[in-house]
């Protein structure tokens, strides 16, 4: 894979939840840079938050590896979701999209049912959808935000895994959860978000133990600073400027650079990998 490295990102802002088209510079999701090698032939994959950012890159790379993909997205992210599906189908892959607000239990159950119906079963569940908004003091965090952050980032993965464990057991499948370097190096302005990611790490270890006895692998990927619409739509412009330059590699990552870890964990190459967290952080530690 070849791509232009992200150097100094300029100050910018977007209205939440943001859109890929307005990011400057443009991120790489593997649209042309990723070359599939058939590593996920005939696998059926559900990706939450699959419209943009890391989820988009995961959907595109897995489809290029031969998987049939369903992406879940918020209703207001329809344009990016349609573009992701179009990118996959124009490349000869199989993709569908389902709009859903995963903060509610019923929406997670409906998504699980609809995705299995579209795919005819499930081999890989990727719990990637996340919510964050930054504030500089604990007094500034609105109570409704704390509830939304935990509902999106922690409750939804729990509900989806609970609903789909039986399907994954049938296929000998796997779960991949998106955590974050924030679980290890929490930023004060992301207090609630960082706490949810630490909770997910714990959940992954527990579920790997329980579901491993049913033939299901459970792992996580912990990204560092990755250039996605989440950044300018949830952070002040002065915090966006130079985003990622504080890593040992000196830059933010492209979404496709994270997607490679998901492809590995979903593939048969990772058949003995479970209960682990793979950091893709530009050099920041995840231990």
Domain ranges within the chain, ordered by starting residue:
37-280
Output phi, psi for 108, to 5 deg: -65, -40
Q: Give the residue among 110, 122, 112, 116 at the shortest CA–CA distance from 169.
A: 122
Kindly report the number of other CB atoms within 10 A of residue 226's CB atom.
Answer: 27
Whole-angstrom Cα distance, residue 287 to residue 282? 14
Locus of tokens 């943001």: 18
Cβ-based burial of 48 (10 A; exposed 0-12, middle 13-18, buried ≥19): buried
- pLDDT above 90 covers a percentage of the chain that reads 92
Task: Output the pLDDT for position 3.
Answer: 56
Instruction: State whether CATH 3.40.190.10 applies to domain 37-280.
Output: no
Token output for 9? 């990102």
CA distance 237 to 254: 19
Q: How far apart are CA 266 and CA 177, in angstroms?
A: 11
List, for residues 32-81, the tens digit of each pLDDT value.
999 999 999 999 999 999 999 999 999 999 999 999 999 999 999 999 99
Chain-centroid distance of CA 81 in Å reads 14
Q: Cα(284)–Cα(287) distance, rounded to whole angstroms?
A: 10
pTM of the model: 0.95
In the chain, what percentage of residues exceed pLDDT 70? 99
Q: What is the pLDDT of residue 7?
A: 77
Mean pLDDT over residues 109-133, rounded?
97
Q: At 8, is the pLDDT very low, low, confident or very high (cuts 50, 70, 90)?
A: confident
CA distance 103 to 90: 32
Query: What span, in angstroms and rounded, lies between the C-alpha atoms of 88 and 68?
Result: 10
Name the average pLDDT for the chain. Answer: 95
| Arithmetic mean of pLDDT, 119-127 | 98
Report, in angstroms and rounded to the nearest whole number, the Rg of the chain calculated over CA atoms.
17
Distances in whole angstroms, Cα of residue 96 to Cα of each of 3, 31, 77, 132, 229: 27, 17, 14, 26, 21
Can you give the pLDDT at residue 2? 47
Question: Which of these is catalytic: 131, 193, 262, 272?
Answer: 193
Q: How far apart are CA 89 and CA 92, in angstroms?
A: 5
How far apart (Å, rounded) are the C-alpha atoms in residues 76 and 55?
A: 16
193 is annotated as an active-site residue: yes
**Per-residue pLDDT tens for 163-177?**
999 999 999 999 999
pLDDT digits (tens, 9 = 90+) for 243-264: 999 999 999 999 999 999 999 9
Q: What is the pLDDT of residue 88?
A: 98
Instruction: Read off the pLDDT band of 1 (50, 70, 90).
Output: very low
Extract the runs of DSSP E, i.e. beta strands, from 16-93.
44-48, 68-73
């Amino acid at each position: 894979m070849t791509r232009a490295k992200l150097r100094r990102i300029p100050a910018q802002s977007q209205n939440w939840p943001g859109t890929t088209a307005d990011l400057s510079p443009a991120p790489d999701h593997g649209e042309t840079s990723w070359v599939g090698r058939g590593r996920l032939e005939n696998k059926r994959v559900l990706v939450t938050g699959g419209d943009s950012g890391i989820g988009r890159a995961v959907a595109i790379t897995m489809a290029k590896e031969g998987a049939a993909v369903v992406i879940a997205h918020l209703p207001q992210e329809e344009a990016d979701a349609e573009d992701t599906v179009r990118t996959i189908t124009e490349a000869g892959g199989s993709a569908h999209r389902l709009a859903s607000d995963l903060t509610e239990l019923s929406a997670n159950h409906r998504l699980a049912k609809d995705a299995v119906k579209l795919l005819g079963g499930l081999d890989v569940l990727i719990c990637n959808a996340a919510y964050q908004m930054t504030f500089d003091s604990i007094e500034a965090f609105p109570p409704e935000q704390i509830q939304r952050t935990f509902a999106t980032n922690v409750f939804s993965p729990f509900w989806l895994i609970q609903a789909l464990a039986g399907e994954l057991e049938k296929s000998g499948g796997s779960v991949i959860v998106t955590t974050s370097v924030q679980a290890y190096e929490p930023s004060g302005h992301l207090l609630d978000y960082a706490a949810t990611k630490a909770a997910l790490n714990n959940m992954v270890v527990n579920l790997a133990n329980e579901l491993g006895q049913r033939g299901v692998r459970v792992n996580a990927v912990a990204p560092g600073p990755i250039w996605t619409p989440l950044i300018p739509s949830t952070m002040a412009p002065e915090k966006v400027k130079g985003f990622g330059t504080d890593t040992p590699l000196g830059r933010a990552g492209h979404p496709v650079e994270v997607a490679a870890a998901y492809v590995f964990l979903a593939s048969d190459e990772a058949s003995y990998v479970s209960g682990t967290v793979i950091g893709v952080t530009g050099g920041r530690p995840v231990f």
